[in-house]
């Protein structure tokens, strides 16, 4: 199991304290904690795995693209949109301090990108695994 998991008990308390306020800057571990709250409601949930997140991120899921098609296999460097060629800043928080600090942005792009890659939304388990993986990537 991934080590971030240990800190999440604390982070959950923080998230609960913020719940009544409008969305604003959070930390990636707070965002992971709220995904974990979602995932905890699903049967058989046993925590997130960075290794599983990495395989998920690099695999195609029956369609044309993997997550790595645009974000590259090394998420600590710039990516490139597979269709438009537009530069995409690194996805790993270690390389890009803006990543996973805006819950609205995270939700919007998980939704859009999962639909592009999987033709459905990602489950809380999948999102948490991916974020655990991204948090494990060193600059
Ligand atoms: C077709 C290209 C493309 C693919 C494939 C893709 N993404 Fe993205 N992703 C983008 C773009 C464009 C953005 C928004 C621009 C930016 O934030 O740099 C983005 C942003 C994100 C963000 C927002 C993070 C933040 O806090 O800023 C997340 C999370 C994300 N992608 C996850 C994924 C996951 C998970 C997959 C695979 C299921 C995936 N992406 C596949 C293009 C892609």
**Mean pLDDT to the nearest integer, 58-82:** 97
Q: Which has the closest alpha carbon to 12: 22, 31, 2, 24? A: 31
Residues 6+ apart with CB under 8 A from 25: 101, 102
Residue 70 neighbours by CB distance under 10 Å: 19
Q: Are 44 and 51 in contact (CB under 8 A)?
A: no
**Mean pLDDT to the nearest integer, 22-35:** 86
Pocket test for ligand 1, best of 26, 50, 71 (most atoms within 8 A of CB): 71
pLDDT digit string (tens) for 1-27? Answer: 444 444 444 444 444 444 444 456 899
> In the prediction, which pLDDT does 99 show?
97
Q: What is the CA(112)–ligand 1 centre distance, in A?
A: 8
Query: What's the token pair of residue 52?
Result: 């599983």
Q: What is the CA(137)–ligand 1 centre distance, in A?
A: 16
Q: What is the CA(8)–ligand 1 centre distance, in A?
A: 24
Q: Are 124 and 35 in contact (CB under 8 A)?
A: yes
Q: At 39, is the pLDDT very low, low, confident or very high (cuts 50, 70, 90)?
A: very high
**Mean pLDDT to the nearest integer, 119-136:** 98
Q: In angstroms, rounded to a whole number, what is the distance separating the alpha carbons of residues 101 and 127?
A: 15
Atom of ligand 1 nearest to the CA of 102: 26
Going from the N-terminus, what domains does the chain have, and what CATH number goes with each? 4-136 (1.10.760.10)
Query: What's the token pair of residue 133?
Result: 């993986």
Ligand 1 pocket member 12 (CB < 6 A)? no
pTM over 0.75: yes
User: How does the average pLDDT of the chain come out, rounded?
Assistant: 88
Ligand 1 pocket member 117 (CB < 6 A)? yes
């Amino acid at each position: 199991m991934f080590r971030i998991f240990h800190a999440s008990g604390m982070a959950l308390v923080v998230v609960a304290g913020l719940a009544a306020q409008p969305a604003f800057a959070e930390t990636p571990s707070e965002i992971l904690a709220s995904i974990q709250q979602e995932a905890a409601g699903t049967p058989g949930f046993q925590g997130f795995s960075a290794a599983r997140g990495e395989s998920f991120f690099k695999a195609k899921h029956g369609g044309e693209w993997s997550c790595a098609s645009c974000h590259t296999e090394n998420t600590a460097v710039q990516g490139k949109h597979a269709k438009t060629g537009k530069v995409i800043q690194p996805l790993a928080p270690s390389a890009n301090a803006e990543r996973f600090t805006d819950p609205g942005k995270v939700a919007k792009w998980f939704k859009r990108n999962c639909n592009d890659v999987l033709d459905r939304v990602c489950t809380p388990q999948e999102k948490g695994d991916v974020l655990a993986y991204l948090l494990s990537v060193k600059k």
